[in-house]
Amino acid sequence: MANFVLKSRRILIQGKLTDAALVVQGGRFISIEQNAQRPFPGLDVLDVGERVVLPGLLDCHVHLNEPGRTDWEGFETGTRAAAAGGVTTLVDMPLNSIPATTTVEGQRRKAEAAKGRCHTDYAFWGGVVPGNAHELEHMAAEGVVGFKCFLCPSGVDEFPHVSKSDLEGAMPVLARLGVPLIVHAELEDEASPTPKASRAYAGYLESRPRRFEDDAIRMMIDLCRRTRCRVHIVHLSSADALEDIKKARAEALPFSAETCPHYLTFSAEEIPDGATAYKCAPPIREAENRERLWEGLKGGVISLLVSDHSPCAPALKKLEAGDFRAAWGGISSLQLGLSILWTGAKRRGVSLAQLSGWMAQAPALLTGLSRRKGEIAVGRDADFVVFDPDADFVVEPKALRHRHKVTPYEGQKLMGQVAQTFLRGDCIFDAKNPNLTREPRGKFLPRGGYP
């Protein structure tokens, strides 16, 4: 592990871009000196000049699908893509791998599959499913950062959704353990049309109305109030729910929400018929909804940004038939998140410091990893991204390190390019030599940090 000095005119420290020199030793930042002009004898200096240095991103919503569906993605390919996108820690979702991470045994199988194969640090979410209440405490003891549940079918049989009464059993347990419950919040009802085989995006959008999310979120606020379990809504799409979330937060309930690049970038009006690369659940909604999500971020109602990278084998996207009902729902963007969001942020007057708060600091707090991750500060891990905010590029599938290259961002022009990514002081990605084979150095992080 190298000891060196990192210098830049623009390092994000305590929310401000600062001219500084940081000494990295033993994989951590050990000192920060503003406007340092002095020499650092005996240490190599990495001077990145005007390039911005941001804390490494913590993407706490990623589906790597290993073991069991490794033909969809995998720890090796997924974390390599993450590193190229400036992500230094990711948290893998408990479903789409087989077995699902809903038992201690499933958790151990996943830990075994990930060991020695990750280019970023990594952690796991556990799952709450009907009948696994007796597993929760043991899984928390083995280090999951929290638990996920679905309020509607998840898309895979091995991860069934929970009822309100399942949650009334599980949430007091999670509250006692002090870990968050993260929720896929869509509550289906009879009044919505059954999805038909369809190439029209409008048909798909209609089948998952905003009401599904709004009803689910109201139910979760009520459960949060009664149990005091920390609740976090994943991939919020309906801007109509913002008012209720705002009230819950004003009431000081332990309640938060995240959204994703696709909800902040695309709009239902522009999705071409048959373009199933855009299919995800909840769905991408109208442009008016998208702008309100940005307002929700700016106003502090939404506090996190994550990729929800959820790829599948390309055949399952049914790209040729373009059938929205039959296609797998999930969007690939792990490698592109920072550039996608910077492109949208810049246009709306949002700063890099705000973006970094949503993509590094807030996710570290949610996952209990903030002692080591999420900020550039003395004592934290030397995880950082060297970023060129004014460079632009066009998304070309061949430059993606995801296992499969299907993404709705293909051909998009994005602002801001990751030049280098460092994990605990080691370079894990360099745009000048993107295909260099590197030894995977990622470590497993239990809630709270390293063992």
**Contact mark string toward Zn ion, 262..301, x via CB under 5 A:** ----------------------------------------
Query: Rule CB under 5 A: which of 43-102 touch Zn ion?
Result: none
Q: How far apart are CA 89 and CA 179, in angstroms?
A: 19
Answer for which of 213, 308, 375, 381 binds Zn ion (CB under 5 A) is: 308
Q: Which of residues 24 and 302 has its CB atom nearest to Zn ion in the complex?
A: 302
Q: Which of residues 84 and 331 has its CB atom nearest to Zn ion in the complex?
A: 331
Q: Which of residues 73 and 375 has its CB atom nearest to Zn ion in the complex?
A: 73
Tell me how far CA of residue 439 lies from CA of 65, 81, 432, in angstroms.
21, 14, 18
CB of 351 to Zn ion, least distance (A): 27
Tell me how far CA of residue 405 lies from CA of 47, 236, 399, in angstroms.
34, 25, 9
- DSSP-assigned letters across all residues of 169-193: HHHHHHHHHT--EEEE-----TTSP
CB of 308 to Zn ion, least distance (A): 4
Query: Rule CB under 5 A: which of 371-400 touch Zn ion?
Result: none
Instruction: Sort strands 87-92 and 57-62 into parallel, antiparallel or unpaired.
Output: parallel
Q: Which of residues 261 and 389 has its CB atom nearest to Zn ion in the complex?
A: 261
Query: 92: Cβ–Cβ under 8 A, 6 or more apart, which residues?
Result: 62, 63, 64, 101, 110, 114, 122, 123, 124, 125
CB of 127 to Zn ion, least distance (A): 12
CB of 151 to Zn ion, least distance (A): 13
Q: Which of residues 62 and 175 has its CB atom nearest to Zn ion in the complex?
A: 62
Is 244:276 a contact under the CB 8 Å cutoff? no
Q: Which of residues 308 and 375 has its CB atom nearest to Zn ion in the complex?
A: 308
CB of 97 to Zn ion, least distance (A): 12
Strands (E), 278-383: 304-305
Q: Which of residues 61 and 424 has its CB atom nearest to Zn ion in the complex?
A: 61
Query: 64: Cβ–Cβ under 8 A, 6 or more apart, which residues?
Result: 73, 74, 75, 78, 79, 90, 92, 97
CB of 96 to Zn ion, least distance (A): 8
Give me the phi and psi of 143, to 5 degrees please: 105, 10
CB of 322 to Zn ion, least distance (A): 23
| Stretch of 158-166, 253-261, 271-279, 307-315 contacting Zn ion, by CB under 5 A | 307-315
| Stretch of 45-53, 303-311, 321-329, 432-440 contacting Zn ion, by CB under 5 A | 303-311
CA angle (203, 206, 212) in 5-degree steps = 150
| Stretch of 33-41, 209-217, 305-313, 368-376 contacting Zn ion, by CB under 5 A | 305-313
Q: Which of residues 186 and 308 has its CB atom nearest to Zn ion in the complex?
A: 308
Q: 249: helix, coil or strand?
A: helix
Which residue lies nearest Zn ion, judged by its C-beta? 308
Q: How far apart are CA 341 and CA 330, in angstroms?
A: 18
Q: Which of residues 128 and 376 has its CB atom nearest to Zn ion in the complex?
A: 128
Instruction: Sort strands 384-394 and 52-55 into parallel, antiparallel or unpaired.
Output: antiparallel
Counting residues that bind Zn ion (by CB under 5 A) gives: 1
Give me the phi and psi of 34, to 5 degrees please: -80, 145
| Stretch of 107-115, 302-310, 385-393, 420-428 contacting Zn ion, by CB under 5 A | 302-310
Tell me how far CA of residue 271 lies from CA of 61, 203, 259, 344, in angstroms.
24, 12, 19, 18
Binding site for Zn ion (CB under 5 A): 308
